[in-house]
Each structure stands twice: as structure tokens, then as C-alpha cells.
Amino acid sequence: MLVLVADEDAALQDTTRRAVERFGYRCVVASNGADAWERIVAGRPDVVLASLGLGGVGGLELCQRVRELRHQQGCYLVDGWRA
């Protein structure tokens, strides 16, 4: 399973990435919405953890884009997971 963590806070990215990997999942991180979108299109993650406050492409827009992709229909989205 591939998990994408999208957040501008580098410390939170690292903490979350390590937690995901401890559970045995692969993890990639993105520091802004545009980077997250590129990783989604290229890597087809199974789970996307996205902060609402992403720069550029915001967390809500990112979720909308993922839902519009046919190949991502089975992707779980968690938006605003820091709240």
C-alpha cells in the first residue's frame, strides 16, 4: 500500500511518514498541493493524507481532483487530518 502525506510542515511530514512506515506501508511526501498532485498522477497512492492549508492546490481541491481521476476511484482521502 502506498500512502501520500501532503503537508507544508516538514516536521509533521517526517513524523507521519515514519508512523506510516512503521505499519509496513510505503510512504511518499509532498510539501505543497502542486507536488502532491504530481505524485498522485505518477504514483497512484492508495491513501492520501492532505492538509487543508496546502499552498497552490489546496487540500479540498486536491481531493476533488483525485475523485475525478478514474484510476484513483479506490483511493482513500483524508483531508484536514491535522485538525
pLDDT in tens, 39-60: 998 988 989 998 888 878 888 8
For cell 511518499, the residue is 28
Confidence (pLDDT) at 79: 59
Confidence (pLDDT) at 59: 81
Q: Give kind and range of the element (H or E) at residue 59.
A: helix 59-68
3-state secondary structure of 49: strand
Confidence (pLDDT) at 52: 81
Q: What is the pLDDT of residues 4-34, one digit of tens each?
A: 999 999 999 999 999 999 999 999 999 999 9
Report the alpha-carbon distance of residue 28 to residue 64 in Å, rounded: 20
Domains present along the chain, CATH in parentheses: 2-79 (3.40.50.2300)
